[in-house]
C-alpha cells in the first residue's frame, strides 16, 4: 500500500475507496466479537463463504465480519445490508436459507427475527429493537459497519478526518482547550477531567513524554473496552495520535491484558495498517509530527489496571501501585511525564474533535458529559453492552433497554462499578447515572459494569464474592488491604456459615472504614464498598443471617437445607441418580428422602426435579 503523503492525499484515498464500494450491493455482516466467537460465529462465516461460492454469486454479495454489536445475549448476529435486516442466534443450518431466501429472493425469514419478550412484536430492522432504540450509540456505532481488520472500512466512515483536522487546522493548545470545554472525564472510573490532565502533562517539565492507553480491563462482568479494542481499534489509535500531538509526546503504549487475545491481534493488525498508510510513525501526513505506539501485554494481574501499577508493569517491574502524591503527569513511565487514559476516553477524542466540544457537552448532566458504555449483565432479559447518554436513569437502563428482570422475578438491586462499587437498591432506581450521583449512593461509576440482581440473589453472598475477588487480587503491598480484606472475608465467611455474633457486624463495619481510609491505592480504598453499601441498604438481611441463621434468598449453603416434599415426590429416582454424595435414598415409585448428614447443598436435585418436590428451607434443622 502506498503511503498517504498529506492531508489532500487522505481525502483522495477516501474518495477512491468510496468510489470502489457500492452501497446498494448486498452485504452480509457477521458479528465476530469474543462472545459471538464462543457461540460459533466463525463457523457461520465460513458457511456463508462456502454457500456463496456454491451458488456462484461471489461478485454480487459481500461478506464482512465486524466487532461486537452489543446484544451479546442474541449472538451470533447477522445483519444484511442495504436493508439492515437483523437476524439473531444464527446457526450454520440457517446459512443456506439466508442466502437463497433473503439475498437472492429478498424474503425475510421470520424465525430468525428478534421478538420482543414484553410486547411480542417482531423487528426486521435492528435499530428499532427496544434494546438499541433507547441507546445513544456514538462510540459503538461504527462497530456495526467496520471490519476491524480493514483500515479502509474505518476511513470510509470518516476515519482519520479528526487527525488531519487536528494536525493541520489546530494548535496543541486549541485541542486541549476543545477537550477541556467538552467536559470529557476519564472513563476508567475516577472521572478526572481529561483536558486538565492533558494540560498538566503538556506543562510538565521534560522533553520526553509518554502517553498510555489503559486497556487492562479486569472487573468481573465488564467488557466495554474489549468491545472497542476488538471492533474499532483505529478509533483508539486516532485518539492517541491526537492526544500525543496535543501533549507533545512521540511514544505511546497500549497496555492490554493477555486475556484479550483477539483484541491484541486486531490492534496489531490495525497498528501495522496505520503505519503502512503513513498515519503512524515518522512525519505523519507530512505534518512533521512523529508518533508511534507499542503494545504491552499484561500478565493477568487485576491491580495493574491502577495507573501506577500499570506503569511499573510496563517498566518490567512488579505490578504494584505507589502513592500518587507526585502525579504520573509529572513523573510516570520511566520517571517521565506520562498521560494515561482509558480505552473509552481515547475513543471519544476523534468524535469530539470532529463534532466539536459544544455538541459533546450538550449530552449528559451538569458535570458528566457525553455517553458512557455500560455492560449490562446479571439477571436481566437483554444482557449486553449499552451506550447511553449520561444522566439517563437506572430505571430506563434496566426496564427499557434491559427489558426487565429475567423470568419475571422481582428486582432487588443493581451492582455498579465492579468489585469496587456498591449495590443500589430499588428505591433509588430513579437516580440519574453520572459520576457524582452514583458516588453519593456509596457506589461508583467505575469502568461501567452493571450487574442486575433479583430476589434470588443474597446480598451477603454477593459481598462475599467481591471481597474474595479483591482478596485474591490484592497485591499485598500495604497492610490494610492485605490483612484487612483477609479479615473482612473471614468475618463474612463466619456470617454466611451461621457462626457469627452480632458484634461481628460492628467489627465488619469498623474494619471496612479503616481499610477504606488507610489503604495505599484505589483497590484497597474501594474494596469494602460492596460490604458497606449492602449493609447500608440491606442491613436486615445481614442481621437475619447472624441472628436467625437464615438466608432469606436461600443461597448461603451452610444456612439452607434441602428436603423432599413427600406429597409431590413420585419416586422417579432422577435426583437419587444425580446426587454426587449419594445422599438421597428411596425405592422407585416411592417418595425419596435426603440424608442430611451427607448432603452438601449442591442443589443438583432441586434443579433437576420435574415435580418441584425438592424444597429449600432456611434455617437448617427443619424436617
Residues that bind other proteins (CB under 8 A): 301, 318, 322-323, 325-326, 471-480, 482-484, 486-487, 490, 507, 510-511, 514, 517-520
Measured from the CB atom, the residue of 468 and 596 that comes closer to other proteins is: 468
Compare residues 162 and 532 and give the one whose CB is closer to other proteins.
532
Cα–Cα distance list, 314 to 229, 256, 333, 471 (Å): 19, 11, 8, 24
Name the minimum Å distance from CB 503 to other proteins.
8
Contacts of 71 (CB under 8 A, 6+ apart): 77, 88, 129, 131, 132, 382, 384
**Is 160 in contact with 117 (CB distance < 8 Å)?**
no
Of 45 and 328, which CB lies nearer to other proteins in the complex structure? 328
Residues 137-153: b if buried by 16+ CB within 10 A, e if exposed: bbbbebbbbbbbebbbb
Contacts 24+ apart (CB under 8 A), 53-56: 55/99, 55/100, 55/104
Nearer to other proteins (CB atom), residue 92 or residue 318: 318
Q: Which is nearer to other proteins, 513 or 598 (CB)?
A: 513
CB of 473 to other proteins, least distance (A): 7
Give the residue from 172, 443, 190, 181 showing the smallest Cα distance to 341: 190
Q: 216 or 454: whose CB is closer to other proteins? A: 216
What is the C-alpha separation between 27 and 152, in angstroms, rounded?
A: 16
Distance, in Å, from the CA atom of 398 to the CA atom of 386, rounded to the nearest integer, reads 11
Give the strand pairing for 371-378 and 384-389: antiparallel
Q: How far is the CB of 327 from other proteins (least distance, A)?
A: 12
β-bridge mates for residue 213, sequence order: 254, 341
Beta carbon nearer to other proteins, 268 or 513: 513
- 3-state SS string over 291-332? EEEEEEECCCCHHHHCHHHHHHHHCCCCCCCCCCCCCCCCCC
Distance CA 341, CA 558 (A): 44
**In this structure, are residues 109 and 87 in contact, taking their beta carbons and an 8 Å threshold?**
yes
* Smallest separation (angstroms) from other proteins to the CB of 558: 18
Distance in Å, CB of 311 to other proteins, minimum? 16
Q: How far is the CB of 241 from other proteins (least distance, A)?
A: 34
Residue 510 Cβ, how far from other proteins at the closest point, in Å? 7
**Contact of 237 with 271, CB cutoff 8 Å:** yes
Which of helix, strand or coil describes residue 616? strand
C-beta atoms surrounding 360 within 10 Å: 23
CB of 477 to other proteins, least distance (A): 5
- Report d(CA 456, CA 250) in Å as an integer: 53
In the complex, least distance from residue 199 CB atom to other proteins, rounded to whole angstroms: 21
Instruction: Report the residue count for the chain.
Output: 623
Q: How far is the CB of 66 from other proteins (least distance, A)?
A: 37
CB 456, min distance to other proteins, A: 31
Q: Which is nearer to other proteins, 3 or 322 (CB)?
A: 322
- Give the rounded distance of the alpha carbon of 484 from its chain centre: 28
CA distance 76 to 70: 11
Phi, psi of 323 (to 5 degrees): -70, 145
SS3 label, residue 563: strand
Amino acid at each position: 500500500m502506498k503511503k498517504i503523503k498529506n492531508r489532500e492525499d487522505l481525502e483522495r484515498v477516501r474518495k477512491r475507496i468510496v468510489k470502489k464500494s457500492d452501497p446498494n450491493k448486498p452485504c452480509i455482516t457477521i458479528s465476530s466479537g469474543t462472545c459471538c466467537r464462543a457461540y460459533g460465529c466463525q463457523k457461520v462465516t465460513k458457511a456463508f463463504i462456502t454457500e456463496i461460492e456454491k451458488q456462484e454469486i461471489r461478485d454480487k454479495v459481500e461478506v464482512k465480519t465486524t466487532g461486537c454489536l452489543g446484544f451479546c445475549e442474541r449472538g451470533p448476529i447477522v445483519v444484511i445490508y442495504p436493508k439492515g435486516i437483523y437476524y439473531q442466534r444464527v446457526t450454520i443450518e440457517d446459512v443456506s436459507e439466508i442466502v437463497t431466501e433473503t439475498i437472492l429472493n429478498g424474503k425475510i425469514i421470520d424465525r430468525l427475527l428478534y421478538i420482543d419478550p414484553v410486547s411480542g412484536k417482531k423487528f426486521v430492522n435492528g435499530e428499532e429493537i427496544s434494546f438499541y432504540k433507547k441507546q445513544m450509540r456514538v462510540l459503538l456505532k461504527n462497530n456495526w459497519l467496520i471490519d476491524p481488520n480493514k483500515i479502509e472500512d474505518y476511513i470510509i466512515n470518516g476515519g482519520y478526518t479528526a487527525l488531519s483536522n487536528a494536525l493541520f487546522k489546530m494548535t496543541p493548545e486549541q485541542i486541549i482547550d476543545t477537550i477541556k470545554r467538552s467536559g470529557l472525564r476519564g472513563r476508567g472510573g475516577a472521572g478526572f477531567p481529561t483536558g486538565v490532565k492533558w494540560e498538566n502533562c503538556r506543562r510538565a517539565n521534560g522533553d520526553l513524554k509518554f502517553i498510555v492507553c489503559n486497556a487492562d480491563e479486569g472487573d468481573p462482568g465488564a467488557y466495554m473496552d474489549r468491545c472497542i479494542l476488538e471492533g474499532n481499534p483505529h478509533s483508539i489509535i486516532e485518539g492517541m495520535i491526537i492526544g500525543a500531538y496535543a501533549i507533545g509526546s512521540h511514544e505511546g503504549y497500549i497496555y492490554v491484558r493477555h486475556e484479550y487475545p483477539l483484541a491484541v491481534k486486531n490492534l496489531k493488525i490495525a497498528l501495522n495498517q496505520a503505519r503502512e498508510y503513513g498515519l503512524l510513525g515518522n512525519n505523519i501526513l507530512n505534518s512533521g509530527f512523529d508518533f508511534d505506539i507499542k503494545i504491552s501485554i499484561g500478565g493477568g494481574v487485576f491491580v495493574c489496571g491502577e495507573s501506577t501499577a500499570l506503569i511499573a508493569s510496563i517498566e518490567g517491574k512488579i505490578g504494584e501501585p505507589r502513592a500518587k502524591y507526585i502525579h504520573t503527569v509529572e513523573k510516570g513511565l520511566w520517571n517521565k511525564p506520562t498521560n494515561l487514559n482509558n480505552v473509552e476516553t481515547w475513543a471519544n477524542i476523534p468524535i469530539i474533535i470532529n463534532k466539536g466540544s459544544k455538541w459533546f457537552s450538550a449530552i449528559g448532566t451538569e458535570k458528566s458529559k457525553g455517553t458512557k458504555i455500560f455492560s449490562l449483565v446479571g439477571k436481566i432479559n437483554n444482557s449486553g453492552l449499552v451506550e447511553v447518554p449520561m444522566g439517563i436513569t437506572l430505571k430506563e437502563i434496566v426496564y427499557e433497554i434491559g427489558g426487565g428482570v429475567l423470568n419475571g422475578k422481582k428486582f432487588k438491586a443493581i451492582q455498579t462499578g465492579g468489585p469496587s462499587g456498591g449495590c443500589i437498591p430499588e428505591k433509588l432506581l430513579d437516580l440519574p447515572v453520572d459520576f457524582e450521583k452514583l458516588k453519593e449512593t456509596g457506589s461508583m461509576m467505575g469502568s461501567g459494569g452493571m450487574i442486575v440482581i433479583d430476589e434470588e440473589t443474597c446480598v451477603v453472598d454477593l459481598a462475599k464474592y467481591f471481597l474474595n475477588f479483591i482478596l485474591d487480587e490484592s497485591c499485598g503491598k500495604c497492610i490494610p488491604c492485605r490483612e484487612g480484606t483477609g479479615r473482612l472475608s473471614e468475618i463474612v465467611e463466619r456470617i454466611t456459615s451461621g457462626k457469627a455474633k452480632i458484634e461481628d457486624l460492628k467489627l465488619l463495619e469498623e474494619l471496612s472504614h479503616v481499610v477504606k481510609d488507610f489503604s495505599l491505592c484505589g483497590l484497597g480504598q474501594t474494596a469494602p464498598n460492596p460490604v458497606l453499601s449492602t449493609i447500608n441498604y440491606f442491613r436486615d438481611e445481614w442481621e437475619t443471617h447472624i441472628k436467625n441463621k437464615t438466608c432469606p434468598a436461600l443461597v448461603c449453603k451452610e444456612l439452607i437445607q434441602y428436603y423432599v416434599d413427600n406429597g409431590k415426590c413420585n419416586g422417579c429416582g432422577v435426583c437419587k441418580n444425580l446426587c454426587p454424595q449419594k445422599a438421597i435414598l428411596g425405592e422407585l415409585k416411592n417418595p425419596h428422602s435426603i440424608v442430611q448428614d451427607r448432603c452438601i447443598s449442591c442443589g443438583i436435585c432441586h434443579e433437576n426435579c420435574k415435580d418441584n418436590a425438592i424444597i429449600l428451607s432456611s434455617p437448617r434443622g427443619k424436617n
